[in-house]
Structure 1
Amino acid sequence: MELSVVVPTLNARRRLARVLDALEARLPAVEVVVVNGPSSDGTSGLVRDHPAVDVLLELPERNLNASRNAGLAVANGDVIALLDHGSVVRDEWYDALVAAVESGADVVTGPVHRAVSGGVTTEEREHETVAGRDVQYFDGGNVAFTREAATAIDGFDEYLETGAARDAAHRLAALDMRVEWVPAFAVLRVDGDDLPDRVAENPEGSATGLKYRALGYRLAKNYGVSITVAWRAVRHALGDAASAARAVLGGDETLSSWLARGRAVVPNIAAGVADGLRARHRDRSPARNPNGVSSRMDRAMSRYEP
């Protein structure tokens, strides 16, 4: 198995250094591609000097999915893993990946451990059935695709600023791709005192708007319009509203911020649904991705091979 590891990054020099150190120590023979957004913290210098890195791509776009797709486009491996700039691979990670791929998995994912006071907390397996599809979700910062699977879905949908991994999971399910959850395929996600990213800087209402626009988009694009799909969107909104109301009553959120978030829900779902239906019309292929790798082969970027 020839493995490439793609690491998109933006203003996360300290965390990225730990990720690259772990790759050098535990996966010295794999191809490592770092895709750097317009960072302003010295990331480029770190990457060019690091012995683990084979290719550095510099993108002018502040878009995580553009970075993921750029990395997928240049990676040479027959299996391509994606890590985020805070995901440190564990000792068993590589062996778990090899075993899963050899057993026939098209996509491999696993837990993300996060360090907390007194120990760690861990993301659990998340899967559900949607309109007859068995959808296995994955964290976009700890996943590996066979080249055939990555090509079949044409990478990630660059329309989405959030939720692109969930969108990809729906499309993989539509293609009957086998997405395997492997407990040993685990990373430790580290924090750092890096510059905040764009989503973190958004006010609460804007973050809510992005979430619900993405929800409406991926449901409409992947399933069209139906009562089942509409109910899923309503159920999400009602659940979030109830959680926020409890936070207001508990003093953890203000009434004005709750109202601002509520006002962001309906117009953004509607906009997402409209854009999703247009995307569904534009790409009627099984990939359901009019904004994927193949549509952006002309993107502007600089390539360095340290």
Structure 2
Amino acid sequence: MELSVVVATLNARDSLADALSALDDHAPGVEVVVVNGPSSDGTSGLARAHPAVDVLLELSERNLNAARNAGISAANGDAVAFVGQDSRIRESWLDGVRAAFDAGADAVTGPVHREVSGGVTTESLESATVAGRDVSFFDGGNVAFARDTLDALDGFDEYLETGGARDAAHRLAALDRTVRWEPSMVVLREDHEDVADRVVSASDESRWGVKYRALGYRLAKNYGVRPGVAFVLAKQAGLDAWTVARDVVSGEELPSKWVSNGSAVVRGAADGVRDGTRARRADTTPRRNPNGVSTRMDRAVARHDAHEQQSI
């Protein structure tokens, strides 16, 4: 198995250095593709100089899923992994990935250990049944796919500013592809915001809108407009509204903020359902991805290969 690793990054120079060094230490010889958004903190120079990096792609847009798709297009491996800019693979990671694909896995994920003040927490595989479909979710910063599985998905949906990995999980289930859980495929993650959070850098209100637009889009695109979609949206909105209401009661938030957040949720969800319905009509195949790898070739504005430089 020839493995490529894609690392999407944006303004995270120090964390990226640690992630790349871990790849250099624990996955020597693996092709590493770094996809850099329009960073302004010296990330580009770091990536070009780091010995682990084989290819650096420069993007002009802040879209995590566009970065992932650019990495897919550039990667040469017959399996492609995605490692977060803030994630350091552990010693057993590569053996875990190889064991999963040797056993015929379509996709594989593993534990994410987080560095927090109280110690280290471990995440396990999350699964759910949605409209009769068994869906296994995975962390987008610690997952690997067989090449034919990525081709079947056509990569990630670039409409989404957040939630691209969860959308891919729904589509994998629709394609009858499974996600294998490999306990030895471990990454250690710093406890701070990820690429998706950095992309959405506006107000809290816009964050609520982005979250619910993504949720409405995923549900409508993958399952159509049905009562179950409305129920999931309403249930999630109710849980979030209760959380914010408690902050209002405790004095941590103003009542006006609760109202404005609620308006952002309603608008975001409505926009997402509308756009998801259009996307469902645009791609009627089980992969449900009208904004995937094959839809454009202009993501990267520059490419730098190890020991040489060229523009595209």
TM-score range, shorter chain: over 0.9
Q: In 2, distance between residues paired with 1:299 and 1:22?
A: 27
Contact kept? 2:66, 2:299, Cα under 8 Å:
no
Equivalent runs, 1:199-214 vs 2, <5 Å: 199=200, 201-214=201-214
1:280 corresponds in structure 2 to 280
What code does the residue aligned with 1:198 have? Answer: V
User: Distance in 2 between the 1:69 and 1:15 partners?
Assistant: 22
Tell me the distance in 1 between the aligned counterparts of 2:291 and 2:77. 23
2:243 aligned partner = 243
Cα distance between partner residues in 2 of 1:189 and 1:285: 36
Tell me, yes or no, if the aligned pair for 1:11 and 1:194 is still in contact at 8 Å. no
TM superposition score normalised by structure 1: 0.95
The residue number in structure 1 matching 2:33 is 33
Q: Secondary structure at the match of 2:140?
A: coil
Q: Count matched residues.
A: 305
Q: Could you give the per-residue CA deviations for residues 69-119 of structure 1, whole angstroms, max 9, x where no partner exists?
A: 000111011110001111100111111111111222111112211111141
Amino acid at match of 1:197: R
Q: TM-score scaled to structure 2, two decimals?
A: 0.94
Distance in 1 between residues matched to 2:249 and 2:186, nearest whole Å? 37
Q: Deviations over 1:30-88 (max 9, x none)?
A: 00000011111111111111110100111111111110000011101111000111110
> 1:183-202 alignment to 2 at 5 Å?
183-190=183-190, 197-199=198-200, 201-202=201-202
Unaligned runs of 5+ in 1: none
Q: For residues 210-253 of structure 1, what are the alpha-carbon distances to aligned partners after superposition, in whole Å with 9 as ceiling and x for unaligned? A: 00000110111001111112111111111111122223223333
The SS at the match of 1:280 is helix
- C-alpha contact (below 8 Å) 2:161/2:199 kept by paired residues: no
Which residue in 2 is equivalent to 1:48? 48
SS in 2 for 1:236: helix
Q: How has the CA–CA distance of structure 1 residues 192 and 260 changed in structure 2, closer, same or farther, with 3 Å as cutoff?
A: closer
Matches within 5 A, 1:35-184: 35-184=35-184
Cα distance between partner residues in 2 of 1:85 and 1:260: 33
Q: Structure 2: where are the runs of 5+ without partners?
A: 307-312
Q: In structure 2, what is the Cα distance between the partners aligned to 1:118 and 1:194?
A: 20
Secondary structure of the corresponding residue to residue 162 of structure 2: coil
The share of aligned pairs that are identical, in percent, is 62
> 1:18: which partner in 2?
18
